[in-house]
Amino acid sequence: MNNMTTETMKETTRKVLGTAALFIGSFCVMGCVETPVKAQPSAAPSGLVDLTQAAETSVNAVVYIKVTTNSKTKTVDVQDPFSDFFGDFFGFGGGGRQQRQIQTPKREGSGSGVIISSDGYIVTNNHVVSEADELLVKLNDNREFKGRIIGTDEQTDLALIKIEGKDFPTLPIGNSDDLKLGEWVLAVGNPFNLTSTVTAGIVSAKARSMGANSIESFIQTDAAINRGNSGGALVNARGELVGINAMIYSQTGSYTGYGFAIPTTIMNKVVADLKEFGVVQRAQLGVMGNDVTRYIDDEKSKGNDVDLGTVNGVYVAEVQDNSTASEAGLRKGDVVIAVNGKDVKKMAELQEAISTMRPGDKVKITYMRNKKKDTVTAVLRNAQGNTKVLEQMDMDQFGAALKPLDSETKRQLNLPNGLEVVAVKKGKMADAGVEKGWIILQVNDRPMNTMEDFEEAVKEANRSSDRILWIRAVTQSGRLRSAVVELDEK
C-alpha cells in the first residue's frame, strides 16, 4: 500500500544472508463473480506468448483505491523516564506508567483492487482498507466512486469492498492450481501511484509460506511488484485472474525479484463467505506441526535419526482437543500426506486445502503412522469445535448504547478511560446484567477508550473458542461490577 504521508504497509523481517523484509502489498479474493467463458492464450507470430490482450483486458478491471484515515484521539501508555531511577528512593514503588491522550494525524494512502463482478464487488487487501474512514475507487477510464467495506479477513489479509453501479469490467477467474512453474504471468496494479501498470514474469514457485499471515500458500513470481500493488491482479497469459499480489521480499523495500500473490483457490472461498455472512466460515483441522523436511532437519541437527516412511507431508506435533483431527484419531507423530486424495507435501498446501472448505464439510485425510499409510474421514469443525454458522455480530444484538467518557467525567471519577452505558434495552447486555450508567473499563482485558475498541473486542471474541465477552466495569459511585456476555445464541 502506497502511503504519501505515513508508512502504513505491513512489514515482516527475517534474517536470510543479512536482514531482508517482507513488504506486504496485496492479494485478491473471489467467489461472488459471474462464471466467465474460459479465455484462450494468444500467440505472437514469432511463436512467443503474446501478453498484449491479457494486459489490455486486465487494466480495465484493476482499480486504484485511495484510503483516508481521519484524525483520531487515542489513549497511550507513557513511561516516566525518571520513575525507575527515583521511584524506590522516594518510596513510590517504581511504577511510573501514565496514560495520555494523543491526536493522530489525518492520513492518506493508496492501493489496488480487482473488480470481480459487474455489479461492483472488488477484492483488495485487508491491510489496505482496515483503518479506512473513506474509500475512493478510481477506474482505468478515470470514473470515480465511493467505496464501502463489505467484510475483511485478517488471517488471509483479504477484504471485499463494493461500489454502486452496473456493467463494470471484470476479469475471468482462473484456477491457480493449474499454474505451472515457468508459466508467464502479469502483475497489474498501481505502484507508487503509477496507475494501470503492467509487469511480466514467470511463476517461480507455488505454496510458499512466508510467515506473514496465519493462512498462506503464496504464488511466487519474478514479475515486478512494488508498493501500491497491494490488492492488484496476478494474471495468466489467457487473461485470467490467478492470484492477488500480496507482498515482496526485499532488503530495500522495492522490487528485487521476489513477489508473492494469494492464489484464487484461497480467494474464492473467502470472498464467497464475506459476501454471504460478512465473516469467514473457517474450518480447522486442529493440528500443530511443520513440514516433514523441516522436522527431519531439526532432528538431525540434534543427532537423531528419523524415518517416518516419507519425506513429504506435514508432521503432527500436537492435536488440539475437540477438533477435526482428534475426531479422526490423529496423534502426535503422524504425517498428513493427502487431503481428499490430493497430495500434501508441506504445511502451506495443507492450509490451502482446508481453507477451501467450510465447517460441516466432510474431509478425507490420508496419513502415515509407523511408516504405514491409512485414510480416515471426518467432519470439519471451526475454532469453537462445532459446525455452526458464524455470523457477524451486529451492535443492535447487544441492546446497549455506549459512548466514550468525556474529560470532565474522567477527572471527577479519576478514571483513565472507559465507555459509559447510556441506554440498555432487550439484548445480550441486558441478559448479562449490564445496567445503564455502568462505565465499561475493559472487555476481555482490552482497555476501552472508543467504540472501535469495543468492536475489535467483539470481533476477536467472535473468532475465539469461548465466544464470550468478560466485562469489567465501575458504577458512577465507584463500585466495581463485572458481567459475562455470551455471543452464542441460547
Amino acid at 306: V
Q: How far is CA 353 from the centre of its chain?
A: 17
Residue 365: name the closest of 314, 420, 416, 294 by CA.
314
Closest CA to 190 of 217, 154, 218, 226: 226
Q: Is 133 annotated as a binding residue?
A: no
CB of 461 within 8 A of CB of 484? no
- In the residue annotation, 355 being an active-site residue is answered as no
C-alpha angle with apex 393: 387 to 394, nearest 5 degrees?
A: 145
Is residue 458 helix, strand or coil? helix
Q: From CA 232, how far away is CA 191, in angstroms rounded?
A: 9
Helices and strands of the chain, counted as H and E runs: 10, 31
Task: Please compute Rg for the chain using Cα positions.
Answer: 25
Residue 356, judged by CB atoms within 10 A of its CB (0-12, 13-18, 19+), counts as middle
Q: Determine the 3-state secondary structure of 478 from DSSP.
A: coil
**Catalytic pick among 110, 230, 250, 323:** 230
Say whether 157 counts as a known binding-site residue: yes
230 is in an annotated binding site: yes
CB–CB of 264/30 below 8 Å? yes
The reply to whether 230 belongs to the active site is: yes
Report the SS3 class of residue 162. strand
β-pair partners for 363:
378
Q: Is the dihedral of CA 261, 263, 264, 267 positive or negative?
A: negative
Is 127 among the catalytic positions? yes
Q: Which residue has the cell 474522567?
A: 410
Cell of residue 56, nine digits = 489490455
Strand partners, 288: 318
Q: In angstroms, rounded to a whole number, what is the distance separating the alpha carbons of residues 268 and 264?
A: 6
Identify the active-site residue in 26, 117, 157, 355: 157
Residue 267 counted as an annotated binding residue: no
Please give the C-alpha separations between residue 387 and each of 279, 284, 328, 360, in angstroms, as whole numbers: 15, 11, 15, 5
Which of 165, 180, 166, 188 has its CA nearest to residue 28?
Answer: 188
User: 373: which residues sit within 8 A by CB, 6+ positions away?
Assistant: 309, 337, 366, 367
Write out the binding residues for substrate: 127, 157, 228-230, 285-289
Write out the binding residues: 127, 157, 228-230, 285-289
Catalytic residues: 127, 157, 230
